[in-house]
Amino acid sequence: MPISILPPQPAQYLLPPDPDSDRENEKVVLDEDGDFVRMISTPRKRSKAIPIVTPGEIVTSDPQWMRGHGTCLMRGRDSAVDGDDSDVNKLLSVKPLRARYTPEIGDLVVGRIAEVQSKRWKVDINSTLMAHLLLSSINLPGGILRKRTSTDELQIRSFFSEGDLLVAEVQSLFQDGAASLHTRSLKYGKLRNGYFLKVKAGGIVRGKSHIVTLEAANGAGEVDVILGVNGYVWVSKKVTLQAPPGGESITRLEEEASEAIYSNVNEDIAPVTRREIARVGNCVRAMVRWNVRVDEEVLNAVYLSALELEEMGFTEEGGSSNGPECLEGEVGRRAVEAGMERVREANSKARGMVE
């Protein structure tokens, strides 16, 4: 079936899998512009119904709460604030679900070069303001110790030019909130060998690890997923740096790698790897679609569930012409649900072991 046309339905969200898991203190609420928002530090012991806060709504008048983002004070009282959870802290904020990304120092972001200036790049990181990347904040080919010369300025486009994708860390913030990025690490830099997708900024959890390596199925090798905190995601074939057989020094290795870091040419990627890259991308999209925030553990689980679903032959009901890796619509929901189930099981098992 080439096209599926569905009747409109009220917005659906998958509720957090386990009332007792860590994930539970996140709720879906409505924010200032009537968008859906997600609350952090939502009350644990409150009702199970999705609390939706609308602008102007008084959330609490309890003075022990501190006003955070997305809230304001009205004549001494907090408004648009909700929550009583004290185990994190007393700061209360309402975060819109659909919003631009607000950069914070230390965030790992994926960005796209929007403009090249004489000594810096302007980078689109899904924020209201373009991020800056200074020529001095990147690794130059020829090793870390290489001195920056004025020739580099003239060849600034040979490092990054308009449209190029990169992964970087937010190094500092300017007065106006614009981020300043750096790529001074081998794990940062230009992106190739893969596929870029964009989800809403709130879809990615700020967590420990944003560079996830999945063992892909069907002999596709390893797939790297870079989950930018800003909602930009890069899925690519894992490229391992082959240590030369002589066992040379690590600096030599770095130098060699850095020669290629600004290459625009992809390596050979087998079709089977491409297929799994697409599937991983679909998993991320489906998770965000069904409001499950993406981190390493859940992504892994959802990916496995998606594979299982394919094995079981479950695609769109009645349809057979869909791509087997496709996770649009109902299939995606099933995969995400199964993945969440998997996480829950793992969690309870782990708890069992502890107990």
Partner 1 sequence: MSQNLPLPPIALPGQPLAQSPPYAAGPGTYTTQNPTRTVITASVAGIPRVHADKSVSVTRPSPSHPLLLLPEVASTVLARVTRLNPRQATVEIFAIQGGGDGIHGGGDGGCVCEHTFQGVIRAQDVRATEKDRIKMLESFRVGDVVRAVVISLGDQSNYYLSTASNSLGVVVAHSDAGDPLHPINWRQMACARTGIVEERKVAKPI
Partner 2 sequence: MTDRRRINGPLEGTIPPVFLTSSTHKSIIKRSPTTLRKIFLKTGLTPPATGSAFLELPTPSTHSTPTLKLTSSVYGPRPLPSSTTFSSNARLTAELKFSPFSTPGRRRGYIRDGVERDLSAQLSIALGKSVAVGKYPKSAIDVFVSVLDCEGGLGDAGDEAGGGVDVGLMSVLATAISCASAAIADAGIECFDLVAGGVAGLVLEQGGVVEEDRVEKSLEVGQDSDDARRGMRKNGKVTLVLDPSPIDGYIILAAAAVGYMAARDELTLVWTKGSMGWDGDSTDEVERIVDGAITASTGVRLVINEAVKERLLLGLKEMGLIRGKAVSGDGDAAMS
Partner 3 sequence: MAPLQTSQQTGTPLSPAELSYLHTSLTLTPPIRPDSRTPTQFRPLVAESDILPSTNGSARMIWGDGGECVVGVKAEVERNSATSVGPRDWIEINVEVSGQRDDDAFLGMTVAESLLVPGSGVLERLVLGERFHWKVFVDILLLAPPLSHPATLLTLTTYLALRNTFLPKLISEVVEDPVFDDDWDNALPLYPVGKIPPPITLLVVNVGENIFFDPTREELSAGDVVLAVSICGKKVVGVRTLEGGSGGVGRAVVKRVIKESCEVAEEVFSNLNSVGEGD
Which positions ≥6 away from 153 have C-beta within 8 Å? 118, 119, 135
Q: CB 86: neighbour CB atoms within 10 A?
A: 11
Measured CA to CA in angstroms, residue 163 lies from 113, 183, 330 at distances of 5, 17, 34
The Cα–Cα gap between 326 and 306 comes to 9
Distances (CA, A) of 113 to 88, 94, 256: 37, 31, 25
**Distance (Å) of CA 192 to CA 135, 265, 268:** 20, 7, 11
Stretch that binds partner 1, among 113-121, 179-187, 251-259, 295-303 (CB under 8 A): 113-121
Instruction: Identify the DSSP state of 291.
Output: T
Among 20, 153, 162, 215, binds partner 2 (CB under 8 A): 162
Task: Give the binding range for partner 3 (CB under 8 A) out of 11-19, 82-90, 189-197, 247-255.
Answer: 189-197
Chosen from partner 1, partner 3, partner 2, none, partner binding at 274 (C-beta under 5 to 8 Å by type)? partner 3
Q: In the complex, what is the shortest distance from the CB of residue 60 to partner 1, in angstroms, rounded to a whole number?
A: 52
Task: Name the segment binding partner 3 (CB under 8 A); options: 159-167, 175-183, 248-256, 333-341.
Answer: 159-167
Helix, strand or coil, per DSSP, at residue 111: strand
154 binds partner 1 (CB under 8 A): yes
Helices (H), 176-270: 250-260
Q: Is the dihedral of CA 305, 339, 210, 234 positive or negative?
A: positive
- 257 near partner 1 (CB under 8 A): no
Stretch that binds partner 2, among 88-96, 157-165, 216-224, 283-291 (CB under 8 A): 157-165
Nearest-angstrom CA–CA distance, 80 and 76: 13
What's the closest the beta carbon of residue 266 comes to partner 2, in angstroms? 19
Please give the Cα distance from 117 to 175 (Å, whole number).
Answer: 20
Contact indicator for 220, 276 with CB cutoff of 8 Å? yes
**Nearest of 187, 160, 294 to residue 233 by alpha carbon:** 294
Contact stretch for partner 3 (CB under 8 A) within 27-35, 50-58, 194-202, 345-353: 194-202
Name which position in 33, 115, 248, 259 contacts partner 2 (CB under 8 A). 115
Residue 129 near partner 1 by CB under 8 A: no
The binder of partner 1 chosen from 128, 155, 172, 263 (CB under 8 A): 155
User: Which are the contacts of 278, defined by CB distance < 8 A and separation ≥ 6?
Assistant: 195, 325
The answer to whether residue 266 forms part of the interface with partner 1 (CB under 8 A) is no
Binders of partner 3 in range 1-30 (CB under 8 A): 1-9
What string of DSSP letters covers 75-94?
TTEEES------SS-SEE-E
The number of CA neighbours under 13 Å toward the Cβ of 313 is 2
Q: Which does 150 bind (CB under 5 to 8 A by kind): partner 3, partner 1, partner 2, none?
A: partner 1
Provide the token pair at 162. Answer: 């308009």
Residue 155 within binding range of partner 2, rule CB under 8 A:
no
Residue appearing with tokens 């968008």:
35
38 binds, among partner 1, partner 3, partner 2, none (CB under 5 to 8 A by kind): none
Q: How far is the CB of 194 from partner 2 (least distance, A)?
A: 23
User: Quick one: which of 124, 222, 255, 256 contacts partner 3 (CB under 8 A)?
Assistant: 124
Smaller CB distance to partner 2: residue 113 or 283?
A: 113
Which of 15, 40, 116, 257: binder of partner 2 (CB under 8 A)? 116
Residues at the contact surface with partner 2, assessed by CB under 8 A: 115-116, 157, 161-162
Residues at the contact surface with partner 3, assessed by CB under 8 A: 1-9, 112-114, 124, 162-165, 190-197, 263-266, 269, 271, 274-275, 278-279, 281-282, 285, 289, 321-329
Residues at the contact surface with partner 1, assessed by CB under 8 A: 116-118, 150, 154-155, 157
